[in-house]
Amino acid sequence: MTTDPTELFRTVRDRTEELAAPLSAEDQVVQSMTDASPAKWHRAHTTWFFEEFVLSPWAAPYEPVDPRYRYLFNSYYEAVGPRQPRPRRGMVTRPSVAEIAEYRRAVDDRVAALLADNQDPALLATMELGRNHEQQHQELLLMDVKHLLWQNPFRPAYQDGGTPAGAATPKPAGWVEHPGGIVEVGHDGRGFAFDNEGPRHRTFLEPFQLSDRLVTAGEWLDFMADGGYSRPELWLSDGWAHINAEGWDCPDYWDRVDDAWHVFTLSGRQPLDPAAPVVHVSYYEADAYARWAGARLPLEAEWEVVATDQGDPAAQFGLHPRAVAEEPTAGAAHQLFGEVWQWTASPYTPFPGFRTAPGAVGEYNGKFMVDQQVLRGSASITSDGHARRTYRNFFPSRSRWAFSGVRLARDV
Amino acid sequence: MTTDPTELFRTVRDRTEELAAPLSAEDQVVQSMTDASPAKWHRAHTTWFFEEFVLSPWAAPYEPVDPRYRYLFNSYYEAVGPRQPRPRRGMVTRPSVAEIAEYRRAVDDRVAALLADNQDPALLATMELGRNHEQQHQELLLMDVKHLLWQNPFRPAYQDGGTPAGAATPKPAGWVEHPGGIVEVGHDGRGFAFDNEGPRHRTFLEPFQLSDRLVTAGEWLDFMADGGYSRPELWLSDGWAHINAEGWDCPDYWDRVDDAWHVFTLSGRQPLDPAAPVVHVSYYEADAYARWAGARLPLEAEWEVVATDQGDPAAQFGLHPRAVAEEPTAGAAHQLFGEVWQWTASPYTPFPGFRTAPGAVGEYNGKFMVDQQVLRGSASITSDGHARRTYRNFFPSRSRWAFSGVRLARDV
Amino acid sequence: MTTDPTELFRTVRDRTEELAAPLSAEDQVVQSMTDASPAKWHRAHTTWFFEEFVLSPWAAPYEPVDPRYRYLFNSYYEAVGPRQPRPRRGMVTRPSVAEIAEYRRAVDDRVAALLADNQDPALLATMELGRNHEQQHQELLLMDVKHLLWQNPFRPAYQDGGTPAGAATPKPAGWVEHPGGIVEVGHDGRGFAFDNEGPRHRTFLEPFQLSDRLVTAGEWLDFMADGGYSRPELWLSDGWAHINAEGWDCPDYWDRVDDAWHVFTLSGRQPLDPAAPVVHVSYYEADAYARWAGARLPLEAEWEVVATDQGDPAAQFGLHPRAVAEEPTAGAAHQLFGEVWQWTASPYTPFPGFRTAPGAVGEYNGKFMVDQQVLRGSASITSDGHARRTYRNFFPSRSRWAFSGVRLARDV
Amino acid sequence: MTTDPTELFRTVRDRTEELAAPLSAEDQVVQSMTDASPAKWHRAHTTWFFEEFVLSPWAAPYEPVDPRYRYLFNSYYEAVGPRQPRPRRGMVTRPSVAEIAEYRRAVDDRVAALLADNQDPALLATMELGRNHEQQHQELLLMDVKHLLWQNPFRPAYQDGGTPAGAATPKPAGWVEHPGGIVEVGHDGRGFAFDNEGPRHRTFLEPFQLSDRLVTAGEWLDFMADGGYSRPELWLSDGWAHINAEGWDCPDYWDRVDDAWHVFTLSGRQPLDPAAPVVHVSYYEADAYARWAGARLPLEAEWEVVATDQGDPAAQFGLHPRAVAEEPTAGAAHQLFGEVWQWTASPYTPFPGFRTAPGAVGEYNGKFMVDQQVLRGSASITSDGHARRTYRNFFPSRSRWAFSGVRLARDV
């Protein structure tokens, strides 16, 4: 793998364009809900990020490609100034998709020119952040596209292909055991990580067991058949209120067609594969399922120490068909990465000693540290090379448009 | 002017495509508010209307161009079946704009083929309704496009050109007098009219005066300067609550830039022309203005009898620059048509003896006859040939995205 | 009947206290919805009306009983100044019910003292307005109490007694015929009327028929049995949306208990009497019923001219048991008064030549003249002597906590 | 202090009645917001708790005082059955306050009779839970009464008296230092505790400092003067959105009168005492303040280990005037109890090994463990004997009607 910053930059940038390629201009402009953003916006915002945090300080005096874009494509950086309100990102029909493509090319060229002249470590560090930021948006783009296409009553597909028939029944889940005690978790500073992954620190764990695989769609059907969505004793109070207000009685993206369950995927509607990991459940649902199963959700530290014991996250990411019904190696945790994000019982809080960076970029993660839950692992749509054992994804408890699933844990 | 039904049909259909031509695919898919619809939807819905009400009964057995369109592009006809919910019309990124253009061509050809064989008067009557229906949507399309582009903080224009500087001050308004008594109003059945324009019937009027011109933007500035938006005694109770909840203190589409009032038009932002008719005011505002001016809004019958006395509505419609500061002929009402719709004091109710047509098309107008106010006249964006002295436009009291303005009346 | 202003005043004031007497302090303070007001508030507001419009101008220099009451008990008079927001009237636990009783006595005494000295016709006219205003609130108090007690899952009664068993089946409805033409309607200025009842004026009517009795609960059951609440073709578009959003499938205050319909009354829950007039239906429902019945709702002028032909409204008002299954006199309209208010097809608009009075009291009626429908007649809970042939009651189309029912009309 | 269960029971029950005594029936029935409950409801619900969890199982076969109360006064116990919806508790004007007093007496007598016969440890444990439950509601009752009276524009007082003039300036805050490491926290099972306080368990802490006193109102004024409420960089993203949506720019219950800050207390409006602890701030505000002060909020374990080092919480609770400007003992943390609850940086999650009790009473705490923050300590209105070093109070981040204040912490 290359370490040339320009080449790394180009690779990430090209990947975004590749992901957007199957989408029409219409697909790219509509905002399907407040939490989601149009694909065009993702393409522009990731570009603005390089303009704002790389070109503006490092290529000074910097003349922006279009001064209006600073307003239109800032996401949430208060220090940068006012911005298009998030719920109104879908109103921006102009600039067009073609103009955004042009904007991307212009910024790419300027960044490449800058890098040709300057390899200052601080610059390169910001470049690395920008690439990782863009990879996050690649996953968001796919989440948001899936949500948008799901709004269409005829369930159009983003791409061809689809799940190969996963006929095999998964092995019964086993448990990976850990003795607990003082453990070290969090990023140690070697290689890239987001600010919220550090500092590395000690924490104390009781002995615990972590399931060696993910909860499957078939197991979720058992939960439903056992009245999972109608038994209040299984639910957090907020969760019970929420599923009743929303009328939820199955995971998101599930459709009952001709008496058979189907799931909507980026490849369109598919028959539900009971061996596949369940996906698109909220924290409320994950928590209720765990209670029903006589287990609990793992703490993020529990997840991390087991993942660390398992060696390096392999390169099983991306948009490739998921491996199903794999043969689990005894005593090893499988499906940690590349399948679905795994809800943890840990609220998203700062690690001890956490400090935000100075300047606008310091708004990156810290200001979201309340009323969200951490998810660990990565998903089938996570960009190659973007997963880490210390990665902390986070969403509100009610959220389920991320590729979020469940791994169980229990006390010993 | 031709009377050939195929030619008339082609003319109206082409006009819709002409209106959509300046719009990108992105401009055509986004729904800027619940009351508005995407341009693509207007293009498809008007086409569906011909499929549903012309081809389906008259070209039986009829195979639809795409069976999904019956769901996607039905507006509100309960008798036709379920449909895409109105607030979610903007979620339909597929079919694409190109597919809708193809859909239009296919239906156009089928209709032309049908008409070549069949000139049944009932068929021709439905064709006429379909053309008029499409003309209504041409105006809606322009209203909705204007609203959409206004959401963009950079106020892009739909078209080039714009208001020529209307420096001349309009003459003081005069009054056209009418003695009242029993008058006949409503459509008499000669030529086309919508169902809600009839039956022609008698009504009794007290003597009254109708202003011989529209209220201007300059006069509206006087109202504002005199505290018009902050004096509750001028307002209906609902209006007062509404303007305070919404923070309204000027007509819609007005912007204060560098200490000068500007208006947003289909040609982009323009300096406000005090001689031009005020436009984009709600019924609440029109009513408050009239009270402030020591006058009142006209009844729809008052408006109609004066318009009838003035001879035929001339061909001053369309997207041409508005005539401003014209020299009023003494004793004549000017600007009845082709400028702005004029709020009346009349709620939208059925005329005596009104009956809805049988079948789904009977839902056309009658079911909206509650809690709306009638507007009379026509606007600069009304399609050529679509205005009539008996035309009853209608919107809720709070609505102001139509090209709605004010003509005063008073008791004698 | 006395004409002594002090005695008339005392009679009305005592009636309010009599109506409040069965209510505990708790019953009198709670506001069950935004449209309703606490009984204590009604008692205080009607008292404030005499302070503000009688004592303050006529007993100057006037020291109010408690200066805070001007803020707390003004209803909607913008000209008087700021006031307790309507949706928060139920937050006012202090002053107490006992203090309000004291407030009433103090104002009663001051008014009586004023009247002993002063019989100025303008003063007496305001006194008459104040009495009629209080009578309006007597009816509102009962409507609001009924709504409040209905919130209680155990359906407590306001009073003892109840509907005598109305076993008799009402006669089939007949029609009272009217030839139409120019008619005079509106109050002629003899005796008291609210401002909105005048001026008396001419209007033109087509020939019509008015039903000689009210629609009964039994007939409403037929409408329900025939799918009345599930057939969109019967409904105004807004009505159809509203009943589906609210889940309405029967009139308000109906309960199905042990497979039998019951109605909640001021005397608690009672078995539904099919012979009794249906009550607590919205305009939407009344309109849909009329369409189902092949009829329509009357115009207010139609109702009034028939009522005028029937002679004087007798004294059949108040809280007495309703007469049911009465023997209709051939050719006469029955149940015009004293049963239920009757929705008309007429929106609430000013009569030709209507002018509001100067000063705050001019806000009495005019500012509500938009988006409401007129009801005519009076109800079983209307205060004695408060009904008039020209009386214009009004509520929004969706409203049904008034004692609102249905009388049909049809074209000839 | 007595240990006789009947006497302990009577003492708690009498205290509730004492707290309600200053309230009129009107004060006791109104619900001022969804989060709050009427005082009458608190009195009834705490009684129902003894009926449901003590009398029903232990005095079987048990005939309830009134079978309707099981529906009306169940708070949130799904296992007990359906109940009056929380937002509609204020609609229950009947039973009356007098009937609830009667209900309390009847249940008190039955419980006393039961205890005379039965001293089963399980029964006594439930009695202890019931007493502690009632003490919780005593504090809620005062919070809710304060909130209700605050709705009244004239700011009536619940009680006489008030803050003595606290002229003295508090000493500058000092820091209590702790070396961190593995510590034990949580209730050890000796004496009463709520289920959420255990199990006692180990956790790991970094070295830290805890402020030796609370943040004062005067310090909060400094924060405000320094733009605290208008600098987004100080705020969590949700907090910034919330204070802007709500228009918050000072703590709750603060009023600016004649250019001087006042606070609303249970004794009415008082001039703000800068030496007093700030109270009625949300977690969002507490967090922003800490960031502004260059510090952070403590973890709940940090708070607890310092509190444990300080010896027993003395009897400084209740409604007595708060001690202000006390002389801090060097090296000791002051104001841990009896002043204001102290927001911690710890989300409310189960302690390792936490299990809910079987049966309905198991719903007591566990089902609320998401999206709330823990507060530690106790407040001036906390009932005598109800505070504990392990007590975990909890509220959502936006909440500020509890007596919630701030104590700072920082890393070493």
Which residues, at least 6 apart from B47, have a Cβ–Cβ distance to it below 8 Å? B73, B100, B103, B104, B107
pLDDT value, residue B272: 97
Helix (H, G, I), strand (E, B) or coil at A195: helix
Chain C neighbours (≥3 Cβ pairs under 8 A) are B, D
- Is residue D292 domain-resident? yes
Residue type, D354: F
Q: Do B204 and C202 touch (CB under 8 A)?
A: yes
Q: Do B30 and A96 touch (CB under 8 A)?
A: no
Domain ranges, residue A320: 175-411
Closest CA–CA distance from residue D30 to any residue of chain C (Å): 6
Q: Do C239 and B370 touch (CB under 8 A)?
A: yes
C71 to chain D: which residues are within 8 Å by CB? Answer: 153
A350 to chain D: which residues are within 8 Å by CB? Answer: 345
Q: Do C237 and B204 touch (CB under 8 A)?
A: no
Q: Are strands A268-271 and A260-265 parallel, antiparallel or unpaired?
A: antiparallel
Q: Do B93 and A26 touch (CB under 8 A)?
A: yes
Q: Which of A76, A237, A350 sits opposite D76 (nearest CB)?
A: A237
Mean pLDDT computed over C52-70 = 97
Mean pLDDT computed over B137-153 = 98
Chain B neighbours (≥3 Cβ pairs under 8 A) are A, C
Q: How many CB pairs under 8 A join B and C?
A: 80
Rounded to 5 degrees, φ, ψ at D335 are 55, 30
- Is residue B119 domain-resident? yes
Which residues, at least 6 apart from B156, have a Cβ–Cβ distance to it below 8 Å? A94, B149, B268
Mean pLDDT computed over A344-358 = 95
Q: Which of B93, B152, B154 sits opposite A30 (nearest CB)?
A: B93
Q: Do D238 and A371 touch (CB under 8 A)?
A: yes
C317 pLDDT above the threshold of 50: no
B interface with A, Cβ–Cβ < 8 A, is 24-30, 32, 40, 68, 71-72, 84, 88, 90-94, 96-97, 148-149, 151-154, 156
Which residue of chain C has the CA closest to D155?
C94
Mean pLDDT of chain D: 93
Query: Taking phi first (over 0 means left), then psi (-120 to 50 degrees means alpha), and beta for anything else, what does residue A43 get?
Result: alpha
Does residue C143 sit in the same domain as residue C181?
A: no
pLDDT (tens digit, 9 = 90+) per residue, D160-211? 986 655 556 778 999 999 999 999 999 999 999 999 999 999 999 999 999 9
- Is residue C155 domain-resident? no
Q: Do A29 and B28 touch (CB under 8 A)?
A: no
pLDDT (tens digit, 9 = 90+) per residue, C263-283? 999 999 999 999 999 999 999
Which residue of chain A has the CA closest to B23?
A93
Which residues, at least 6 apart from C302, have a Cβ–Cβ distance to it below 8 Å? C178, C205, C208, C210, C344, C409
Q: Which of B102, B135, B150 is the last residue of a domain?
A: B150
Binned at pLDDT 50, 70 and 90, residue A359 comes out as confident
- Is residue C261 domain-resident? yes
Write b or e for each residue in D300-316: b if 16 or more Cβ atoms lie within 10 A of its Cβ, otherwise e.
Answer: bbbbbbbbeebeebeeb
Helix (H, G, I), strand (E, B) or coil at D255: strand
A346 pLDDT above the threshold of 50: yes
Which residues, at least 6 apart from C142, have a Cβ–Cβ distance to it below 8 Å? C19, C158, C266, C381
pLDDT (tens digit, 9 = 90+) per residue, A281-327? 999 999 999 999 999 999 999 999 999 987 655 433 333 434 433 45
- Is residue B322 domain-resident? yes
Q: Hey, of D83, D91, D96, D145, which one would you mutate to test binding to chain C, going by the most C CBs within 10 A of its CB? A: D91
Mean pLDDT of chain B: 93
pLDDT value, residue D318: 33
Mean pLDDT computed over B19-38 = 98
Query: Taking phi first (over 0 means left), then psi (-120 to 50 degrees means alpha), and beta for anything else, what does residue B385 get?
Result: left
Q: Which two tokens stand for residue B360?
A: 């789904």
Binned at pLDDT 50, 70 and 90, residue A184 comes out as very high
Q: Hey, of B23, B73, B93, which one would you mutate to test binding to chain A, going by the most A CBs within 10 A of its CB? A: B93
Closest CA–CA distance from residue C86 to any residue of chain B (Å): 12
Rounded to 5 degrees, φ, ψ at A265 are -125, 175
Q: Are strands C404-405 and C341-347 parallel, antiparallel or unpaired?
A: parallel
Cis status, amide bond into D271, omega within 30 of 0? no
B167 pLDDT above the threshold of 50: yes
Q: Hey, of B367, B374, B394, B397, which one would you mutate to test binding to chain C, going by the most C CBs within 10 A of its CB? A: B367
Mean pLDDT computed over C65-72 = 97
Does residue C119 sit in the same domain as residue C23?
A: yes
Q: Do A148 and B72 touch (CB under 8 A)?
A: no
Q: Do C27 and D93 touch (CB under 8 A)?
A: yes
What order of strands is seen across the sheet that includes strand A175-178? A175-178, A208-211, A409-411
D96 to chain C: which residues are within 8 Å by CB? Answer: 24, 26
pLDDT (tens digit, 9 = 90+) per residue, D269-288? 999 999 999 999 999 999 99
Q: Is C270 exposed, middle or buried (0-12, 13-18, 19+ CB in 10 A)?
A: middle
Q: Which of D203, D238, D373 sits opposite A204 (nearest CB)?
A: D203
pLDDT (tens digit, 9 = 90+) per residue, C73-123? 999 999 999 999 999 999 999 999 999 999 999 999 999 999 999 999 999
pLDDT value, residue B323: 41
Binned at pLDDT 50, 70 and 90, residue C331 comes out as confident
**Which stretch of A120-129, A159-168, D40-49 has the lowest confidence by average pLDDT?**
A159-168
Q: Hey, of D31, D43, D86, D93, which one would you mutate to test binding to chain C, going by the most C CBs within 10 A of its CB? A: D93
A347 to chain D: which residues are within 8 Å by CB? Answer: 347, 349
Residue C261 parent element (H or E): strand C260-265
pLDDT (tens digit, 9 = 90+) per residue, A46-103? 999 999 999 999 999 999 999 999 999 999 999 999 999 999 999 999 999 999 999 9
Helix (H, G, I), strand (E, B) or coil at D339: strand
pLDDT value, residue D313: 56
C26 to chain D: which residues are within 8 Å by CB? Answer: 25-26, 28-29, 40, 93-94, 96-97
C33 to chain D: which residues are within 8 Å by CB? Answer: none
Does residue B270 sit in the same domain as residue B389?
A: yes
Closest CA–CA distance from residue A148 to any residue of chain B (Å): 7
Q: Which of A203, A239, A371 sits opposite D204 (nearest CB)?
A: A203
Binned at pLDDT 50, 70 and 90, residue C404 comes out as very high
Q: Which of B29, B92, B154 sits opposite A29 (nearest CB)?
A: B29
B94 to chain A: which residues are within 8 Å by CB? Answer: 24, 26-27, 149, 152, 154, 156
Q: Which of B203, B237, B370 sits opposite C238 (nearest CB)?
A: B370
Contact D181, D239 (CB under 8 A): no
Does residue A115 sit in the same domain as residue A197?
A: no
pLDDT value, residue C351: 98
A411 to chain D: which residues are within 8 Å by CB? Answer: 352-353
Mean pLDDT computed over C152-179 = 84
Q: What CATH number did the domain enclosing B14 receive?
A: 1.20.120
Does residue D128 sit in the same domain as residue D189?
A: no
ipTM reported for the complex, 2 dp: 0.95
What order of strands is seen across the sheet that includes strand C260-265? C254-257, C260-265, C268-271
Does residue A143 sit in the same domain as residue A266?
A: no
Q: Do A96 and B24 touch (CB under 8 A)?
A: yes
Q: Do B30 and A32 touch (CB under 8 A)?
A: no
Which residue of chain B has the CA closest to A88?
B151
- Is residue C170 domain-resident? no
Does residue C325 sit in the same domain as residue C380?
A: yes
Mean pLDDT computed over C212-238 = 97
Closest CA–CA distance from residue C308 to any residue of chain B (Å): 20
> CA gyration radius for chain B?
22
Does residue A281 sit in the same domain as residue A323?
A: yes
Q: Which of C114, C133, C150 is the last residue of a domain?
A: C150
Does residue A199 sit in the same domain as residue A102?
A: no
- Is residue B283 domain-resident? yes
pLDDT value, residue D311: 64
Mean pLDDT computed over D120-127 = 97
Which residue of chain C has the CA closest to D25?
C26
Binned at pLDDT 50, 70 and 90, residue C168 comes out as low
Most confident segment among A171-180, B352-361, D323-332? A171-180
Closest CA–CA distance from residue D73 to any residue of chain C (Å): 12
Number of domains composing chain D = 2
CB atoms near residue A359 (< 10 Å): 13
Does residue B226 sit in the same domain as residue B354?
A: yes
- Is residue B224 domain-resident? yes
Q: What CATH number did the domain enclosing C229 receive?
A: 3.90.1580.10
Picking from A49, A44, A55, the residue whose alpha carbon sits closest to that of residue A100 is A44
Does residue A237 sit in the same domain as residue A279?
A: yes
pLDDT (tens digit, 9 = 90+) per residue, A136-151? 999 999 999 999 999 9
Q: How many CB pairs under 8 A join C and D?
A: 77
Does residue C22 sit in the same domain as residue C142?
A: yes
Mean pLDDT of chain A: 93
